[in-house]
Structures are given as structure tokens and as C-alpha cells.
């Protein structure tokens, strides 16, 4: 049996602190595997703990199978949790650990058959008579999963269950979790800040930033159609290259994106998505180029839709089957706040969210639709201030574009290379970080 979890405008505040979770609305369907993704401190665990009943909900409602559940005690929710740390009883064997929740619920019955069946499912039959101290990290985590699964919960909540394991074991257990939850059809919410897990596990992914839900979609859509620059930057390895640009749309000439040192001329006839950029004329925007959008080749080899740029190779990462070439095109990398860390305190005078009042009618309508779901860019940096204001992690890093190539392409650091950019795969985000190209679905009526 599995069940529906619905959060309606759920917020959490710890004491007088600012909101750890802010107006999250989300429905997880029966049997669905939803991954909650975001940087450290963005509120993922808090959401999970509110679903489990381990944390009070400050505002909003939780429904389990349509029943209001804010005040249902944790033990009556029929929810199992697996945490990052393997919470096993050290003085009990794996058999006793797995059987513990069964004995608690029904002390009179013989639970051996259920323990054996759970162990078979997780391929840990050989480990049943060992104590946690005699198990490896991965084995302990499997026993912990066995304990959570043995009583056939209707909801499975996992909080970074693989983060303390090495990469190989993580990949192996990840596949096992996907298979198990599919087989059992149990509704699962899985918290991680590892975006690689999203692509292989989730039916849907919910991306959070600073307590606010940014996007809920299939992993594929989160990658291909990120709703804002934060999601675009958070999902995808290597990270999307984000460059500051200005839209040039003269009436008597072609449209282009000015990257500072170079321009991307938008190919004529303009696609619908590119035509819509005209309303950004003269405004600063952020251009996003994924590593597969750019290739190293001379202008003479340009295919339709590709435009030429050039850059200087900063360094090359060989990865066996491919190479990532880090290039300096003389553009200014855009900085996205909160990508790695917990939300920083808002600096005096620094507005964390764009203000609807400064946007005009169209902007306000867009803002209204996206309320609470917009990432912001850092305030513009003064170019005369040297490194001041630049993201400290980027100081000394001069490459602004990453190009994915086959391993046979041989380039060396310092070489000037010709680039071809496929503008059919171009992303553009407005000053507030919202995606404007490809145009979002249900764009407000432009006539107004
Ligand atoms: N008991 C608490 N009291 C006060 N603040 C808390 C408490 N628990 C969490 N927080 C704060 O709430 C915010 C969200 O924390 P949460 O643990 O939900 O984030 P997370 O996304 O799960 O992070 P991580 O990936 O690092 O586990 C953080 O700013 C955290 O400091």
C-alpha cells in the first residue's frame, strides 16, 4: 500500500529565526519517487521531518491520503525513515535490528519469515547474525534500509542515505533503492544535495533554494527547461556556463547578445524564442550555454544555427571518454547566489528578491505567477573595483565557458581556439534570474 502526501503552503520557522521553509506546496502521488534537491541548509530535511511528524508545521497543512495530518503523532503515520547516519542498535544483530519494529508492533508473532524475506530483497541474508560493528558502511546502510522496510511502510522518507558512502558503493545502492521502491510501489521522498542522484532516481525532482521551492518537474525538464538560473546552474555536470550579456535589437539590423568582448549574432530568420528577446532590448540578461552547446571548430564548418566565437584555452580536463575544455572568451561570468552554501544573511541594502513594484505591468504579472519561486543574481559588480565583489570562489579563475569535446580533440592551455555555438540550445535569463529563452509556457499576453 502506498499513499499520497500533500503539502499546502507549508512553512517552518525555528523560534524567531527567519523561515527555514517558506510556503511549500507539493503533492507526491502514490508510488511516486520524488527527490528533494538543493544546497546545504535550503530546508530539505526540515520538509522531510515535517512529513514524518518529527517537526511541527508553523503554517500550512499536511494531508496524508487527503486527511489533515498536521497533528497526527509520528508513530500513527505509517512512515519509515532512513537517515544519513546508520541508526542501528549496536548490541543487536542485523536480524534483531530488522525485526525490532515488527516486535514493537506485534510482540507475540514470529517475525522470522518477514525478516528473511526483507534480507533476501536486500541481498543481506549472510549478514543477519552479525552485529553492526562487524559490517561495512554499505552493509550497515542496507540493514538500516531493511529495518525501515520490514514492516511495509506506506511512505518511505530517506535523508541523504548514501552520502557517507564511497562513490562506487553509492552507485550500487542507488540502483538498488530504485529497484526496491519500484518493486514495492511505496511513495518515497528522497533528500539529497547530489544532483547526480536526481537523474538516476527520481520520477520527479523538487529543487529548493533558501527554503523556497524553485521547480517541480521531471529530471529531464529540470535540465532542459529550468525555470530560473538557479535551477539551471544547480542541475547538470559540468555546470552550465553563465555569462552576463546585453540584448541588442536595433530596428535596422540583426539582433545580437553582447557579451562584452564578443557578440552572439542571433541567426536570421529569428526563431520565436529569439524574437521574444526583443523586449529585453538594452537590458542586462544572463546567457546560459551548456557544455554540449559549444564545439571547437572553425567558422567554415558552421552548421545552420551555429555562430562563431573564439577563446583562449585555460585548461583541459581529460575524463577518458571525453574532455572538458575550459575557455576564456573575455566575457563576464554571472554569479548566482546560494548555489553551494546555506543562505547568506542579506547584506544591508541587498534585496534578496526582486520587487514587483519596479517591474511594470508585464513584469508584475510574471512575478505574480512565479511568486516565491525566483532566484536572484548578485548585484552588478563594479568593474573598476578589481576583484572586489567577485564571488571569492571564482577569483583567479579566468575561464568563463566549458566546452565538452571528444577525447581525440587535442588542444593545449594558452592556445586560441575557434568556437561554434548552437544558438538553438541557447538559454537566456532576465535580470531577476527567470528563464526567458526558451520562452516559458503560458507566457502572459504580450499585447497588454
Ligand atoms: N532545530 C533547529 N533550530 C534552528 N534552526 C534550524 C534547526 N534545524 C534546522 N535549522 C535551520 O533551518 C535551515 C534548513 O535546515 P535543513 O536541515 O532543513 O536544511 P537541509 O537543506 O536539509 O541542509 P543539509 O543538506 O545541510 O542537511 C537551516 O538554515 C538550518 O540552520
403 in Cβ contact with 322 (< 8 Å): no
pLDDT of residue 1: 65
Mean pLDDT of 309-318: 94
- In whole angstroms, what is the distance from residue 296 CA to residue 409 CA? 8
- In whole angstroms, what is the distance from residue 378 CA to residue 432 CA? 10
- In whole angstroms, what is the distance from residue 123 CA to residue 173 CA? 11
Residue 125, pLDDT > 50, answer yes
Q: For residue 45, which atom of ligand 1 is closest to its CA?
A: 22
Mean pLDDT of 118-122: 85
230 in Cβ contact with 433 (< 8 Å): yes
Mean pLDDT of 73-98: 88
Q: Is 45 near ligand 1, meaning CB less than 6 Å away?
A: yes
- ipTM, two decimals, is 0.97
pLDDT of residue 389: 31
Q: CA-CA distances (angstroms) from residue 154 to 157, 175, 181, 186, 309?
A: 10, 21, 11, 6, 54
Q: How far is the CA of 41 from the centre of ligand 1 (A)?
A: 5
pLDDT of residue 344: 36
Q: Bridge-partner residues for 80, per DSSP?
A: 156
pLDDT of residue 339: 72
- In whole angstroms, what is the distance from residue 147 CA to residue 177 CA? 14
Pairing of strands 79-82, 155-159: parallel
**Lowest mean pLDDT, pick from 185-199, 208-222, 296-310:** 185-199
Residue 217 CB burial class (10 angstroms; 0-12, 13-18, ≥19): middle
Query: How does residue 370 score in pLDDT terms, banded at 50, 70 and 90?
Result: very low
Q: What is the dihedral of CA 92, 94, 100, 101, to 10 degrees?
A: 150
Mean pLDDT of 9-17: 92
Residue 280, pLDDT > 70, answer yes
Instruction: Write out the H or E segment, with its range, that includes residue 95.
Output: helix 94-105
Mean pLDDT of 62-73: 96
pLDDT of residue 381: 41
Neighbours of 283 (CB within 10 A): 12
C-alpha grid cell, residue 262: 564578443
Question: Dmax over Cα atoms in the chain, in whole Å?
Answer: 86
Query: How does residue 341 score in pLDDT terms, banded at 50, 70 and 90?
Result: very low
pLDDT of residue 265: 94
Q: How far is the CA of 210 from the centre of ligand 1 (A)?
A: 10
CB contact burial 112-150 (16+ within 10 A = b; e otherwise): eebbeebbebbebeebbebbbeebeebbbbbbbbbbbbb
Q: Is 44 near ligand 1, meaning CB less than 6 Å away?
A: yes
Question: Sheet containing 155-159: which strands, arranged edge to edge?
Answer: 79-82, 155-159, 187-192, 33-37, 204-209, 212-217
Domain 5-224 has CATH 3.40.50.300: yes
Query: How does residue 86 score in pLDDT terms, banded at 50, 70 and 90?
Result: low
Query: How does residue 443 score in pLDDT terms, banded at 50, 70 and 90?
Result: low
Percent over 90 (pLDDT), the chain: 54
**Lowest mean pLDDT, pick from 34-38, 103-107, 176-180:** 176-180
Q: How far is the CA of 42 from the centre of ligand 1 (A)?
A: 7
Q: Is 438 near ligand 1, meaning CB less than 6 Å away?
A: no
Query: How does residue 68 score in pLDDT terms, banded at 50, 70 and 90?
Result: very high
Q: For residue 43, which atom of ligand 1 is closest to its CA?
A: 18
Please provide the size of the chain in residues.
448
pLDDT tens digit string along 236-253?
Answer: 889 999 999 999 998 888
DSSP string covering 245-295, please? EEEE--TTS--EEE-SS-EEEPPSSPPHHHHGGGGGTT-EEEEEE-GGGEE
Mean pLDDT of the chain: 83
Q: Is 341 near ligand 1, meaning CB less than 6 Å away?
A: no
Residue 376, pLDDT > 60, answer no
C-alpha grid cell, residue 85: 547516519
**Lowest mean pLDDT, pick from 4-18, 38-52, 137-151, 160-174:** 160-174
pLDDT of residue 171: 80
Q: How far is the CA of 272 from the centre of ligand 1 (A)?
A: 43
| Domain parsing of the chain, residue ranges | 5-224, 229-381+393-437
Residue of 7, 38, 43, 213 best suited for mutating to test ligand 1, as the one with most atoms within 8 Å of CB = 43
pTM here is: 0.82
pLDDT of residue 309: 95
In the chain, count H helices and then E strands: 10, 21
How far out from the chain centre does Cα 343 lie? 15
C-alpha grid cell, residue 33: 519517487
Q: Whose CA is nearest to atom 31 of ligand 1?
A: 41
pLDDT tens digit string along 320-332?
Answer: 889 999 999 999 9
238 preceded by a cis bond (ω within 30 of 0): yes
Q: How far is the CA of 8 from the centre of ligand 1 (A)?
A: 20
Phi-psi region of 372 (alpha: psi -120 to 50; beta: other; left: phi over 0): left
pLDDT of residue 442: 59
Amino acid at each position: 500500500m502506498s499513499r499520497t502526501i500533500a503539502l499546502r503552503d507549508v512553512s517552518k520557522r525555528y523560534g524567531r529565526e527567519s523561515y527555514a521553509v517558506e510556503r511549500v506546496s507539493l503533492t507526491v502521488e502514490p508510488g511516486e519517487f520524488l527527490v528533494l534537491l538543493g544546497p546545504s541548509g535550503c530546508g530539505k530535511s526540515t520538509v522531510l521531518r515535517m512529513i514524518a511528524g518529527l517537526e511541527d508545521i508553523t503554517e500550512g497543512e499536511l494531508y496524508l491520503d487527503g486527511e489533515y495530518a498536521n497533528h497526527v503523532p509520528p508513530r500513527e503515520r505509517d512512515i519509515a525513515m532512513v537517515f544519513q547516519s546508520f541508526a542501528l542498535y549496536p548490541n543487536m544483530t542485523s536480524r534483531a535490528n530488522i525485526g525490532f519494529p515488527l516486535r514493537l508492533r506485534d510482540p507475540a508473532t514470529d517475525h522470522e519469515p518477514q525478516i528473511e524475506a526483507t534480507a533476501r530483497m536486500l541481498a543481506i541474508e549472510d549478514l543477519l547474525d552479525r552485529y553492526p560493528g562487524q559490517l561495512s558502511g554499505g552493509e550497515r546502510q542496507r540493514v538500516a534500509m531493511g529495518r525501515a522496510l520490514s514492516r511495509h511502510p506506506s511512505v518511505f522518507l530517506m535523508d541523504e542515505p548514501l552520502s557517507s558512502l564511497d562513490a562506487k558503493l553509492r552507485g550500487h545502492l542507488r540502483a538498488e533503492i530504485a529497484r526496491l521502491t519500484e518493486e514495492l510501489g511505496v511513495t518515497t521522498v528522497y533528500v539529497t544535495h547530489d544532483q547526480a542522484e536526481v537523474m538516476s532516481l527520481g520520477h520527479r525532482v523538487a529543487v529548493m533554494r533558501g527554503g523556497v521551492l524553485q521547480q517541480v518537474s521531471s529530471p529531464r525538464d529540470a535540465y532542459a527547461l529550468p525555470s530560473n538560473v538557479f535551477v539551471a546552474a544547480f542541475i547538470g555536470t559540468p555546470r552550465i556556463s553563465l555569462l552576463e550579456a546585453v540584448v541588442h535589437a536595433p530596428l535596422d539590423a540583426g539582433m545580437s547578445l553582447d557579451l562584452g568582448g564578443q557578440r552572439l549574432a542571433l541567426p536570421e530568420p529569428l526563431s520565436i524564442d529569439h524574437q521574444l528577446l526583443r523586449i529585453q532590448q538594452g537590458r542586462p540578461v544572463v546567457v546560459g550555454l551548456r557544455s554540449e552547446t559549444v564545439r571547437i571548430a572553425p567558422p567554415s564548418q558552421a552548421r545552420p544555427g551555429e555562430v562563431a566565437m573564439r577563446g583562449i584555452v585555460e585548461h583541459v580536463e581529460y575524463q577518458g571518454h571525453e574532455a572538458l575544455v575550459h575557455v576564456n572568451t573575455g566575457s563576464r561570468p554571472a554569479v548566482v547566489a546560494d548555489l553551494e552554501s546555506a543562505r547568506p544573511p542579506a547584506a544591508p541594502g541587498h534585496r534578496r528578491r526582486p520587487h514587483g513594484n519596479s517591474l511594470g505591468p508585464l513584469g508584475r504579472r510574471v512575478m505574480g505567477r512565479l511568486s516565491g519561486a525566483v532566484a536572484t543574481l548578485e548585484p552588478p559588480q563594479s568593474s573598476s573595483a578589481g576583484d572586489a565583489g567577485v564571488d571569492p570562489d571564482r577569483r583567479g579563475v579566468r575561464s568563463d565557458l566549458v566546452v565538452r569535446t571528444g577525447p581525440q580533440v587535442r588542444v593545449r592551455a594558452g592556445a586560441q581556439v575557434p568556437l561554434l555555438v548552437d544558438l538553438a540550445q541557447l538559454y537566456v535569463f532576465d535580470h531577476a534570474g527567470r528563464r526567458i529563452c526558451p520562452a516559458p509556457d503560458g507566457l502572459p499576453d504580450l499585447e497588454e
